[in-house]
């Protein structure tokens, strides 16, 4: 009864190595026990000593040896081997712990992901592939298990970053008496079918996107405000300082045909007007004699006479009196009006006002 009360932990690593451990300090205080094993059956058993001991505070607490068959017998004895303290027969195949899945691949299609791995060489029917995942908004892992060696799940949000991990499990109780699973494969991070180094990269990329969009929005707002201010400034400028008309648009032939040469343009214009209208002979200018007394009186009071002559109207109406008045007026300062512009003619000089 005392021998059966000893608890041992038995692990068969992928049916390659056996590890058997016990609580040395509790079961065998102050005693360094010995361990032996055999995979042989029948009367002729060959017991082998433990090749590699596992120690706990310098006391033997376990043994590691190679798996050589399905049937195993173990024996624990005192330090000199004279007394057997514990013995047990077992099936090594019921204590298998599988290795990590190899060559794990992820296949994404819209919101569905399928995870697969290479099939082990043996014991595939006893294995299940377990997939666990969670997003950065989930506290606990979500689990999905399927036959070896492919598992799929749907409903993934492409806007979220997910963490994935996979492992292989042995069926209990059909294949194992102990629920052993492999170690987890290295955790991976995915977002919408793209492999990331971590989900922190997703947070950084989102923050960078927010910063860029904010800058662009601020730039557009500034441009919009500047355009509004520019329009208001133009309106204010027009109301305060109205635009001065450009004479080149009123006198197109002056600037296009004569390059701004006023003398050439006025000569040609006068010649064309005379030729197109009735021939006109300039009457002789008759100067009326005035008395010396009137000249003296008027010379002090009167300034040089200036008069605005409308040359175009005089020619069109063929008015000799208008021409005679033009001849009678002093030629020192004469002002002509053309299309809203005034031209001051002083002797041989023409000034446009």
Average pLDDT, the chain: 75
H-helix segments, 241-261: 247-250, 252-256
pLDDT tens string 236-248: 666 766 666 665 5
pLDDT tens profile 130-147: 999 998 888 889 999 999
Is residue 48 scored above 90 in pLDDT?
yes
What does the pLDDT average to over 319-327? 45
Among the listed residues 44, 45, 77, the one whose alpha carbon sits nearest the alpha carbon of residue 63: 77
Paired with 127 in beta bridges are 170
Q: What percent of the chain has pLDDT over 70?
A: 65
Domain 105-196: top CATH class = mainly beta
**Would you kindly state where each structural domain of the chain is located, as residue ranges?**
8-97, 105-196
Q: How far apart are the first and last CA of the chain?
A: 133
Query: Going edge to edge, which strands form the sheet with 349-352?
Result: 307-309, 334-338, 341-346, 349-352
Q: Where do we find the tokens 């190899």?
A: 102
* pLDDT of 258 above 60: yes
> CA-to-CA distance for 306 and 345, rounded, in angstroms?
10
Question: How does residue 333 score in pLDDT terms, banded at 50, 70 and 90?
Answer: very low
- Arch. (CATH architecture) of 8-97: Sandwich (2.60)
**Distance (Å) of CA 95 to CA 55, 66, 90, 223:** 22, 14, 9, 73
What pLDDT is stored for residue 4 in this prediction?
53
Question: How confident is residue 336, by pLDDT bands cut at 50, 70 and 90?
Answer: very low
pLDDT of 271 > 70? The answer is no
Question: For the purposes of burial, counting CB atoms within 10 Å of the CB of 23, is it exposed (0-12), middle (13-18) or buried (19 or more)?
Answer: middle
Q: Is 143 helix (H, G, I), strand (E, B) or coil?
A: strand
């Amino acid at each position: 009864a005392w021998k059966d009360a000893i608890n041992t932990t038995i692990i068969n690593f992928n049916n390659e190595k056996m590890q058997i451990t016990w609580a040395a300090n509790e079961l065998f205080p102050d005693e360094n026990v010995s361990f032996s094993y055999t995979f042989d059956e029948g009367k002729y058993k060959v017991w082998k000593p433990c090749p590699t001991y596992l120690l706990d505070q310098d006391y033997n607490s376990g043994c590691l040896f190679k798996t050589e068959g399905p049937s195993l017998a173990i024996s624990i004895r005192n330090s000199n081997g004279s007394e057997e303290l514990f013995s047990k027969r077992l099936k090594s195949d019921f204590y298998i712990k599988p290795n990590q899945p190899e060559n794990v691949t992820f296949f994404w299609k819209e919101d569905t992901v399928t995870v697969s791995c290479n099939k082990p060489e043996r014991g595939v029917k006893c294995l299940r592939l377990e997939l666990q995942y969670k997003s950065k908004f989930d506290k606990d892992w979500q689990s999905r298990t399927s036959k070896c060696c492919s598992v799929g799940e749907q409903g993934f949000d492409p806007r979220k970053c997910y963490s994935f991990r996979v492992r292989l499990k042995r069926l209990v109780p059909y294949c194992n008496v102990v629920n052993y699973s492999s170690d987890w494969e290295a955790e991976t991070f995915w977002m919408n079918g793209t492999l990331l180094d971590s989900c922190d990269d997703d947070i950084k990329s989102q923050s960078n996107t927010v910063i860029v969009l904010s800058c662009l929005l601020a730039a557009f707002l500034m441009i919009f405000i500047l355009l509004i201010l520019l329009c208001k400034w133009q309106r204010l400028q027009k109301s305060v300082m109205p635009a001065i008309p450009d004479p080149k648009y009123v006198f197109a032939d002056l600037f296009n045909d004569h390059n701004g040469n006023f003398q050439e343009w006025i000569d040609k214009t006068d010649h064309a007007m005379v030729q197109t209208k009735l021939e006109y002979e300039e009457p002789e200018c008759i100067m009326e004699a005035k008395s010396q007394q009137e000249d003296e009186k008027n010379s002090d009071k009167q300034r040089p006479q200036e008069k605005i002559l409308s040359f175009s109207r005089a020619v069109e109406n063929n008015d000799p009196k208008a021409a005679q008045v033009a001849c009678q007026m002093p030629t020192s300062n004469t002002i002509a009006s053309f299309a809203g512009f005034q031209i001051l003619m002083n002797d041989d000089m023409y000034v446009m006002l």
